[in-house]
Structure 1
Amino acid sequence: MFKQTLACAVLVALSGCSEPANTATNKEAKAPMSQANSVNYPVTKKGNVVDNYFGETLADPYRWLEDDMSAETANWVKAQNKVTFSYLEQIPYRDKLKQRLEKLMNYEKIGAPFTEGDYTYFYKNDGLQNQYVLYRSKEGGDVEVFLDPNTFSDDGTTSMSGLSFSKDGSLLAYQISEGGSDWRKIIIIDTQTKEQVEQALVDVKFSGIDWLGNEGFYYSSYDKPEGSELSAKTDQHKVYYHTLGSDQATDKLVFGATDEQKHRYVGADVTHDGRYLLISASTSTSGNKLFIKDLTQKDSEFVTIVGNTDSDTSVIDNEGSKLFLVTNLNAPNQKVVTVDAADPGPQNWQDFIPETKNVLKLTKGGDTFFANYMVDAISKVKQYNKKGELIRDITLPGVGTAGGFSGKKEQTTLYYSFTNYKTPGTTYTFDVTTGESGVYRKSGVDFNSDDYTSEQVFYNSKDGTKVPMIITYKNGIKLDGSNPTILYGYGGFNISLTPSFSPTTAAWLEQGGVYAVANIRGGGEYGKEWHNAGTKLQKQNVFDDFIAAAEYLQSKKYTSKQRLALRGGSNGGLLVGAVMTQRPDLFQVALPAVGVLDMLRYHTFTAGAGWAYDYGTSEQSKEMFTYIKNYSPLHNVKAGIEYPATMITTGDHDDRVVPSHSFKFAAQLQAKQAGTNPTLIRIETNAGHGAGTPTSKIIDLYADMYGFTLYNMGVKSL
């Protein structure tokens, strides 16, 4: 049911690939050093801001770049982009990469169908449309366009970012994001006429939409901050109930009104039978309190299910007053328990699906449960009935990631997807009763998986911890150290990197590139203990794991220092920034995207304080301040060091990890970089943290990223 919103999300690698071509390694048998010419960077002025942390003073000369409302910052952005795009234009195969991405992204993409009211709905992208279109049909009727987000803005930067149908399917509330911002609007339409029925709700952030019948719905937001809405701190999340036909100003405040109810992330969920309202409340991106309210009883009070944030717990289903909960309380790999709503505290929980040695993710559909386990980041799925009895182990199409297996209670046919790093996603049907699967729709991407190998290896980190990594490459490559390689990682917030196909990754593979993904600590691949091992005063484990992955790739001759690039986004941008300042000798190219790079001040912007479970804060204690300062990328750039060729990427509307992180890091690197390796920042305008990015911008970004990477690895032509 309720799915907690994370304040720091994974930057997902979206679409793009190409037809077979001469590989980069065929063009350059050796691994030459960078071809980069020296770059004349804009002059970035230095201010005189000094901060005092526990008696230690630190200068912050680029603090002025935090002001996203100033003309001076806007001019700096323009000047930096001018230099960056002038540099990228000299790469001889940049246009060829773009054309290849365009061609191979141009195939029909169709999502699994779902039923609401009298209609069956599905998403489709004809190929190069900036946003997916929502279609529908009645049984035996023609297919029609229902909602086309491509019409929301001329440049495709307004996206649809979540929708919810009323109980009978007659009404739809959907959110839109403008320019990639986390601030959303909610628009309500009549599904028969497609006409908007009332004025849009505004200033909504980190919210679901959950209807109570057809009369209204619950949503979440913050009070609009003073100053910049893109960077000002948002601290107290609130749940409201909107009655259809009323003014938003009269919406009822349901949770978050008092200091006792003050939390950074709060979400509401209504059980499928409309009987209970559930509230999940968190102060950080890990751990939540959980409350329940009986909506059938007038003026009923909230009852506490979990009264602290020491665990992650949610209600997945109910049968009358019997609740089914997924929790990691005293079960780091998660388990399922049942309890009666009348007295739902942990002391009354009964195991339903016990914890195992593998991490559990639970879905429901067809009045059954599906336990999707991660075994070394690979999916294994089991089906259970409502008595907790195993129905069957589900045979998957191969080794990779399965997702889906969800739907309404009355459905007899469900859908699931299967993919891995070399296998385009295929959608399958699943018969709930017989367990039989069938192909529903294959991917239309022009990519031959048989030409590629994807293998899982295990390597030892600095402290001896065994870490898995999946390496994908074209069949027949020589392990001679000459292969251009991208090493990708994240390592935070309990987020797991499971195998999935991306046409943009396929484009890299087709150029003879190796793509490696390390499942480092801080993620959720091995449960809460794996996550905690990469947090706060153990955060260095994350960087050590990534460094060890790079060393493994070189020792096994997949690549060499001159042919290795590190890439990561958001928390993964921090990962790349920390590793490049700790081990600048280890690799040739750094690609930190929308990164958390000023670790001493991250918590002062938007909802950043909620990331303290993973990071701690510089104000917490002297010990924590010192630890964070010693790895914070911004504070560990040293003069006279030759850093890898670096292209920092961010969006000017990123209100999750504010772009000043990237701005200040770029200014610091440009001021202190030794040698001729370029230090560039590519700032996408009218774009945010990544979600809803239009296809056209994705193509441009990956053409630039791959071009920059290969060019600085010494590859002269493709």
Structure 2
Amino acid sequence: MKKVPVLALASVLAACAGESPESKKSVNAEAEPTAVAEVAVSALSYPATRKDDVVDTYFGTEVADPYRWLEDDRSAETESWVKAQNAVTFGYLDQIGYRETLKQRLEQLWNYEKVGSPFKEGDYTYFYRNDGLQNQYVVWRKKGDGEAEVFLDPNTFSEDGTTSLASLQFSKDGSIVAYSISEGGSDWRKIIIMDAETRQVLEEPLVDVKFSGISWVGNEGFYYSSYDKPEGSELSAKTDQHKLYFHKLGEPQSADELIFGGKAEEKRRYVSGTVTEDDRYLVISGATSTSGNDLYIRDLSKADAPLVQILDDFDSDTYVLDNQGSTLYLVTNRNAPNKKIVTVDAAAPAEENWKDFIGETENVLTASTGGGYIFAEYMVDALSKVYQYDYSGKQVREIALPGPGSASSLDGKREDTTLYYSFTNYKTPATIFAFDVKEGQSSVYRESGAKFDPAGYESKQVFYTSKDGTKVPMLITYKKGIELNGKNPTILYGYGGFNVSLTPSFSIANAVWLEQGGVYAVPNLRGGGEYGKRWHDAGTKLQKQNVFDDFIAAGEYLIEQGYTSSDYLAIRGGSNGGLLVGAVMTQRPDLVKVALPAVGVMDMLRYHTFTAGAGWAYDYGTAEQSKEMFEYLLGYSPVHNVKAGTAYPATMVTTADHDDRVVPAHSFKFAAELQAKQAGSAPTLIRIETNAGHGAGTPVSKTIEQYADLFSFTLYNMGVKTLPNG
């Protein structure tokens, strides 16, 4: 499966992932006017934000929610508030003299040709290409040694570049393509079906598709997943029943067959259906949260074959990697927290018949296939190590990588003789390598054109001690010859959730930060997947505070070692990482100078009432789950822990009006609380991108503007008067 390369401002939740509390609401008709009225706070005048007398009761405890009205993303009052907040924020940013210089440097460094790995479909070889500053990557193709031509240009989908290509899947012989698009960054997608040779659209687009793959059966049609369109706002209303459909080519969407889901007894929040490469089996995975799934197969070679259940609980993450005839190869963390590969016959696929194929090790496994081999990639302290296996289970070789860093998966079709992978780390732009599956040799296929010399920089891994004694790794990247005098502007970036692993990768934006003498530090916090299931679970539910403690300890380490000080330290994270920043800045406002929470989950009592948020309960728990869980969530929920009379760091909250993953109301309410209660002189602003979503598919132009704003805001509030380089 080929993925669309994307540039995103924030990390994305790994997946989008009870009843509402008893509520009583009364609106004060005499409340002050909103939106354009202003109140003076420090040197800034923020738009006044109306407070309502909204109170929810949880286990006998009343919790005020005065900014509940900001959850209504369709109201004129909310729209007016957004415009007023942006006016203040951009008015502030406009005063920073070197903001335009940073933007120009970002554009300069960004402006080079970027080409993805090639992949063959039918008679053509396809690849993604961006000539430098194009808002979206373009799909190109060529036949044999012929000239390359544009196949699909997402930059033509909309005038402002905000409609993006989300996925692209060809039929088995490559003659037909189905691709999905995202409009304004929304998770709701359209699927367009096109003749690959003539590029003629074959039928009406499929609409209202969400969290879906596209998996073809021959050239007949494909499986996809979606929810019923919710009542109310499609950007914020709850979506709770995922379904798998089969679309037969040439038939209207209304005739699509419901394959799985839709029944109360088999309710799933996330459902996917994939067809094995030989078209033999349909594999269905169902989940109620972002961790754990049940698993089913259907033998498509037999008419009216039943759905056979492999797993009937949600106690593990298990998927079908491949098959050889009726032998299934499963990747699982069932009784193997770091994952292993097992085999089983499809005729009797129950767990008691599983046989270990590649056993669990002390390092976390990720597996892929291509060229008739299986590739086992292991994370060793968040760095890649890759081994090649044949289908008898024999280890063929370890693949030599250029050095410490991250290798992308080696995957492709069975008949491929050459596979492609990229290698990168925090100071090294990605290089694409061609790998000969028989000889085991890698050769450079395409070097990065980025005008950045990694020889002038250092990326160092350290291990520091968290509050409870746990050792946590962190990669620190900076210019060689840095003076450890505590005055280096530093961004500490974190995530810590949903089993997501932060492995080292090059970022054009971060390269600009490093050029200016900045330090960039990334710890591998608990809640992530770097050390397997136990590491993930150690940062979930009633252990979520471990994640915040790990992040705080990372900041303290950077200060103790002289990399930076509280006056030069910024914390940044997006989505679940936005929650991380919000929790840490409210728990330890003295630790940092600048806080940059992006698209964050800020209201931990109500997150599960929006879109697919209920699926995140494995990591967070819910306020209705138990009194203990409610009190724990209330204890760190950023919206509920902003205290009057506290001096908070300079803060720029960022979100987008079309974010239907983590709805912008989280950020709206958090910003309103900060502006109402900030006792210090530091600004507390919110930057709201319009016609954009959670991050994926954001146009390059918008991404550059966002980073210029983030970096200038950060440096300005650290007291940097002029840029060291520029």
Instruction: Compute the TM-score of the two structures, normalised by the length of structure 1.
Output: 0.95
User: Which one of the candidate residues 656, 667, 675 is aligned to 2:672?
Assistant: 667
Residues 400 and 606 of structure 1, relative CA distance in 2, 3 Å threshold: same
- Partner residue in 2 for 1:30: none
CA distance in structure 2 between the partners assigned to 1:260 and 1:443 by the alignment: 51
CA distance in structure 2 between the partners assigned to 1:297 and 1:195 by the alignment: 33
- Partner residue in 2 for 1:450: 455
CA distance in structure 1 between the partners assigned to 2:216 and 2:9 by the alignment: 26
Residues 424 and 695 of structure 1, relative CA distance in 2, 3 Å threshold: same
How do 1:344-359 and structure 2 match up within 5 A? 344-359=349-364
CA contact (8 A) 2:500 2:528 kept: yes
CA distance in structure 2 between the partners assigned to 1:349 and 1:12 by the alignment: 34
- Partner residue in 1 for 2:147: 142
2:382 corresponds to 1:368 = no
- Partner residue in 2 for 1:380: 385
CA distance in structure 1 between the partners assigned to 2:207 and 2:532 by the alignment: 37
Give the counterpart letter for 1:468 in structure 2: P
How do 1:453-532 and structure 2 match up within 5 A? 453-532=458-537
CA contact (8 A) 2:9 2:703 kept: no
Paired residue secondary structure (1:49): strand
- Partner residue in 2 for 1:416: 421
How do 1:238-249 and structure 2 match up within 5 A? 238-249=243-254
Deviations 1:57-113 (A, max 9, x none): 011000000000100000000000000000000001000000000111000000000
Superposition misfits of 4+ residues, deviation over 2 angstroms: none
Paired residue secondary structure (1:220): strand
Deviations 1:324-380 (A, max 9, x none): 000000000000000000110111000000000000000101010110000000000
2:653 corresponds to 1:655 = no
Deviation at 1:694, TM superposition (A): 0.3
CA distance in structure 2 between the partners assigned to 1:46 and 1:324 by the alignment: 57
Deviation at 1:38, TM superposition (A): 1.4
Deviation at 1:575, TM superposition (A): 0.1
CA contact (8 A) 2:377 2:409 kept: no
Higher relative contact order (CA 8 A, sep 6+): 1
- Partner residue in 1 for 2:135: 130
- Partner residue in 2 for 1:637: 642
2:275 corresponds to 1:282 = no
User: Which one of the candidate residues 99, 102, 108 is aligned to 2:104?
Assistant: 99
- Partner residue in 2 for 1:11: 11
Deviation at 1:653, TM superposition (A): 0.1
2:587 corresponds to 1:582 = yes
Aligned length: 692
Deviation at 1:499, TM superposition (A): 0.4
Give the counterpart letter for 1:564 in structure 2: L
CA distance in structure 1 between the partners assigned to 2:191 and 2:2 by the alignment: 19
User: Identity across aligned pairs (percent)?
Assistant: 71
- Partner residue in 2 for 1:32: none
User: Which one of the candidate residues 306, 316, 336 is aligned to 2:341?
Assistant: 336
CA contact (8 A) 1:237 1:265 kept: yes
- Partner residue in 2 for 1:18: none
User: Which one of the candidate residues 632, 645, 669 is aligned to 1:627?
Assistant: 632
CA distance in structure 1 between the partners assigned to 2:391 and 2:689 by the alignment: 49
Paired residue secondary structure (1:260): helix
CA distance in structure 2 between the partners assigned to 1:203 and 1:685 by the alignment: 21
CA distance in structure 1 between the partners assigned to 2:415 and 2:248 by the alignment: 28
Paired residue secondary structure (1:404): coil
Deviations 1:127-173 (A, max 9, x none): 00000000000002111000000000000000000011001100000
Deviation at 1:10, TM superposition (A): 6.3
Give the counterpart letter for 1:490 in structure 2: Y
CA distance in structure 1 between the partners assigned to 2:279 and 2:557 by the alignment: 53
CA contact (8 A) 2:478 2:519 kept: yes
2:223 corresponds to 1:218 = yes
2:51 corresponds to 1:59 = no
Deviations 1:522-552 (A, max 9, x none): 0000000000000000000000000000000
CA distance in structure 2 between the partners assigned to 1:581 and 1:37 by the alignment: 19
Deviations 1:559-602 (A, max 9, x none): 00000000000000000000000000001000000000000000
CA distance in structure 2 between the partners assigned to 1:672 and 1:10 by the alignment: 27
CA contact (8 A) 2:10 2:599 kept: no
Deviation at 1:181, TM superposition (A): 0.1
Deviation at 1:2, TM superposition (A): 13
Deviation at 1:37, TM superposition (A): 7.0
CA distance in structure 2 between the partners assigned to 1:612 and 1:625 by the alignment: 12
CA contact (8 A) 1:2 1:280 kept: no
CA distance in structure 2 between the partners assigned to 1:292 and 1:12 by the alignment: 29
CA distance in structure 2 between the partners assigned to 1:219 and 1:558 by the alignment: 49
CA distance in structure 2 between the partners assigned to 1:222 and 1:621 by the alignment: 29
CA distance in structure 2 between the partners assigned to 1:281 and 1:231 by the alignment: 23
- Partner residue in 2 for 1:327: 332
Deviations 1:604-634 (A, max 9, x none): 0000000000000001000000000000000
2:118 corresponds to 1:113 = yes
CA distance in structure 2 between the partners assigned to 1:305 and 1:283 by the alignment: 17
CA distance in structure 1 between the partners assigned to 2:410 and 2:384 by the alignment: 13
- Point out where structure 1 has 5 or more consecutive residues left out of the alignment: 14-35
How do 1:512-591 and structure 2 match up within 5 A? 512-591=517-596
- Partner residue in 1 for 2:29: none
Deviations 1:648-695 (A, max 9, x none): 000000000000000000000000001110000000000000000000
- Partner residue in 2 for 1:296: 301
User: Which one of the candidate residues 395, 408, 412 is aligned to 1:407?
Assistant: 412
